Amino acid sequence: MEPDTRLLFMEEALIEARAAGRRGDLAVGAVVVAGKRIVGRGGNEATSSGDPTAHAEVVALRDFARRMPDANSVAATMFTTFEPCPMCLGACLLMRLETVVVGGRRRADDRAWGDYRPELLAVMSAAGGPRLQVRQGPLADECLITRGPARPADPGAEVRR
């Protein structure tokens, strides 16, 4: 995919992220692309919907599946504004996406899941099925700024640990 096209699709994912942020959700967005056409889109809805699985990537995959009943057999790429969590990357593997293009990434000291990186999970999963490519995309800084902090400060967090 050409650099200009990648930029366009990441900008579309950012539109979804900003909409999620306006709803009060974590500002992450994703679009699914087949050929040069957006076939699925979504923003994080986990807070506003009360569904903890309604991450941007899953919402976009659900939209893709609704629009294209044969979605599992369509060569598709996802553009997401932030690196997908293990659940979301697993959903991408199950949907048989070819590539996930990532905008922002966690800082080295912000590893909620230890040393998890989407690239490692994709490689570990490749032995038993289709190989998913994870690539760095454009607009990483803008994606991180749009997302903001993962959670607002929780004064009780230290007490619970």
How would you write 29-70 as a 3-class SS string? EEEEEECCEEEEEEECCHHHHCCCCCCHHHHHHHHHHHHCCC
Return the residue matching tokens 């959670």: 151
The residues assigned a catalytic role are 57
Listed in sequence order, the residues at least 6 apart from 131 whose beta carbon sits closer than 8 Å to its beta carbon are: 122
The whole-angstrom distance between residue 77's C-alpha and the CA centroid of its chain comes to 11
State how far the Cα of 143 lies from the Cα of 57, in Å rounded to an integer. Answer: 15
